Amino acid sequence: MNAKRIDKIATGVLYGVAALVVIILVALLGFILIEGVPKISWHFLTSPALAFEAGGGIGIQLFNSFYLLFLALLISLPISLGAGIYLNEYAPQNTVTGLIRTTIEILSSLPSVVVGLFGYLFFVVQFKLGFSILSGSFALTVFNLPILTRSIEEALANISNDQREAGYALGLSRWETVTKIVVPAALPSIITGVVLSAGRIFGEAAALIYTAGQSAPALDFSDWNPFNISSPLSPLRPAETLAVHIWKINSEGIMPDAKAVSAGSSAVLIIAVLLFNFLARWLGKRLYKHLTAE
Amino acid sequence: MAENSMTTDQRNIMKFDPKDHEIALSTEDLHVFYGKSEAISEGDLQFERYKISALIGPSGSGKSTYLRSLNRMNDRIATVKGKIMYRGLDINSNDIDVYEMRRHIGMVFQRPNPFAKSIYENIAFALRQRGMTKKQDLDEVVERSLRQAAMWDQVKDDLNKSALALSGGQQQRLCIARAIAIKPDILLLDEPASALDPVSTSQIEDTLLELKQNYTIIIVTHNMQQASRISDYTAFFNLGKVLEYAETGDIFTNPKVDLTNDYISGNFG
């Protein structure tokens, strides 16, 4: 066989493989959306779930998902930012920082169910936080920290050393250079990383089953005092999220319309995660454009 | 190489008579090490105030390393031993506030490196960090620096545009404007035109000749025409040593050291 022929065959095979991947993805997304989207209504999105009757919604689960996401990011973002800055800007290249990097890599490949069980033993049992928003957001933080740290570290590493030297040459200190020049320049990719990790947190179930719990008690949406247990903001109430809800309905749901609720919830979840991804790209591009041209 | 090592003993380093020449910066017994390998083994030079001094030499001769040691940009990368005298102070000593010192000895790099900020902010930013907060003062410095770098007329209507949208030559001039905005005494330039086209290069050279009235300029260049066009004094580096330092005219017409002659006539490097 001559080289030209081999090249043609290889090209064909590669096209085929790529097409297969796309087909699987489109089929999966299409199935979930076609099954689920017709079930979505304002009522479905806002009313509480019903355990034994048809017509329940996912209002509380949806709220819980966003609230947990918000808290998890609130805790993990400053820590990751600090760790990323330390690792990329301050840490000397030696065995200790090498060890830290390896640890972060191992942590980031930890199965989320293990994170969930750790969260259960550590936050729920040891610290007596119970099945609660707090336990859940701590578990999500453990789950999110290594990945976010890595992505922030990479975003900073992509900023050319020329930028740092420019700062030093103007008599700026290392801290000024990092905070006022390097981090702002890396902001587009940092934000992309944050939003992408938000998508992962939003769809996470295994880490939450044993930490934030599997029940969504009725909430009083007129009470915004976080110290009242029925308040939506209460950090000590159990909070089933959308992803956990889907898992639960499919394993032990006994409402007559379980299939429909599951399909609708899945579609909402997929749409939310897709939105996070598009938002990440859009924000990253916008910011990049804003920085490079008017 | 054998030829080089035979002739490295031959050196011709000019010293200024302090009565006739004001020395802005000088190095004494300067050695620079990267790890254990010595990048600069002999670098004793004096730089006269309000003159342009060029550092030339083949790649790897240590001229950039030497330049970057002068305002201690090599602090975290290399070990610099010896004295760097500036206004009677050894700025290579540990008690020097490096950040403050760099406001007196500014630097422009080989690749243009404007910040990912607006043209205005590129200049105003460092000033604001040091307490100049009045808009009027900042406006004034921004305009003056851009005028000195000969680019005010081109960008005066686009001050809020991102500096990254400028062409390479304009970016480099913005970097020069940014460096002189904080009014340093001495300006170090590390091959500032090597990434630019001939037109931008000659504009930068004009700018430097203009700036010479107020600044002491030390420039590393690969381009020997450039050195002969703009500099008053030239130092020739080879293998980490300064072999010859003299008036630029002498270096190019009547070099005393054989290797200098070989280099400027294009026989190596």
Judged against a pLDDT cut of 90, whether residue B11 lies above it is answered with: no
Judged against a pLDDT cut of 70, whether residue B65 lies above it is answered with: yes
**Which residues contact residue B120 at a Cβ distance below 8 angstroms, ignoring those fewer than 6 apart?**
B142, B159, B160
pLDDT of residue A246: 93
Which residue type sits at A272? A
pLDDT of residue B4: 45
Task: List residues bridging with B37 in a β-sheet.
Answer: B34
Q: Which residues in chain B have their CB less than 8 angstroms from residue A287's CB?
A: none
Between chains, do A168 and B102 touch, taking CB under 8 Å as contact? yes
Q: Which residues in chain B have their CB less than 8 angstroms from residue A163's CB?
A: 113, 115-116
Picking from B40, B32, B42, B39, the residue whose alpha carbon sits closest to that of residue B11 is B42
pLDDT of residue B9: 64
pLDDT of residue A159: 95
| A91 interface with B at CB cutoff 8 Å | no
Looking at the partner chain, which of A162, A176, A293 has a beta carbon nearest the beta carbon of B111? Answer: A162
- What's the CA gap between B162 and B122, in Å, rounded? 9
Judged against a pLDDT cut of 60, whether residue B187 lies above it is answered with: yes
pLDDT of residue A229: 82
Q: Determine contact, residues B57/B263, Cβ cutoff 8 Å.
A: yes
ipTM of the complex as predicted: 0.89
- What's the CA gap between A144 and A81, in Å, rounded? 12
Name the more confident of A89 and B43. A89
Q: Is residue B37 part of a domain?
A: yes
pLDDT lower than 50: segments of chain A: 294
Q: Output helix, strand, coil percentages for chain B, rounded to the nearest 5.
A: 40, 25, 40
- What's the CA gap between A74 and A77, in Å, rounded? 6
pLDDT of residue B3: 43
pLDDT of residue B43: 77
**Which residues contact residue B150 at a Cβ distance below 8 angstroms, ignoring those fewer than 6 apart?**
B173, B203, B206, B207, B210
pLDDT of residue B1: 39
pLDDT of residue A230: 83
**Which residues contact residue A163 at a Cβ distance below 8 angstroms, ignoring those fewer than 6 apart?**
A181, A182, A185, B113, B115, B116
To the nearest whole Å, the CA of A179 is away from the closest chain B CA by 12
Total number of domains in chain B: 1
Q: How confident is the model at residue B13 (pLDDT cuts 50, 70, 90)?
A: confident
Q: What percent of chain B has pLDDT over 70?
A: 96
Q: Is residue B100 part of a domain?
A: yes
The mean per-residue pLDDT over the stretch B201-217 comes to 93
Q: Which residues in chain A have their CB less than 8 angstroms from residue B116's CB?
A: 163, 184-185, 291-292
Domain that holds residue B229: 2-112+185-264
Looking at the partner chain, which of B109, B158, B161 has a beta carbon nearest the beta carbon of A165? Answer: B109
pLDDT of residue B2: 40
pLDDT of residue B143: 96
CATH number at residue B221: 3.40.50.300
| DSSP H helical ranges for B88-164 | 98-104, 119-129, 135-148, 152-155
CATH class of A40-292: mainly alpha
Between chains, do B162 and A162 touch, taking CB under 8 Å as contact? no
Between chains, do B162 and A290 touch, taking CB under 8 Å as contact? yes
Q: Is residue B104 part of a domain?
A: yes
Between chains, do A171 and B116 touch, taking CB under 8 Å as contact? no
Judged against a pLDDT cut of 70, whether residue B6 lies above it is answered with: no
Q: Is residue B207 part of a domain?
A: yes
pLDDT of residue B14: 87
Question: Around Cβ B120, how many Cβ atoms within 10 Å?
Answer: 19
Between chains, do A293 and B165 touch, taking CB under 8 Å as contact? yes
Per-residue pLDDT of B107-160, as tens digits, reads 999 999 999 999 999 999 999 988 898 999 999 999 999 999 889 999 999 999
The size of the A-B interface in CB pairs under 8 A is: 74
Per-residue pLDDT of B19-36, as tens digits, reads 888 999 999 999 999 988
Q: Is residue B230 part of a domain?
A: yes
Q: Is residue B235 part of a domain?
A: yes
Judged against a pLDDT cut of 50, whether residue B236 lies above it is answered with: yes
Q: Which residues in chain A have their CB less than 8 angstroms from residue B127's CB?
A: none
Could you tell me which chain B residue has the CA closest to the CA of A289? B162
| A292 interface with B at CB cutoff 8 Å | yes
pLDDT of residue B5: 44
Between chains, do B99 and A173 touch, taking CB under 8 Å as contact? yes
Domain ranges of chain A: 40-292
Q: What is the rounded average pLDDT for all residues in chain B?
A: 90
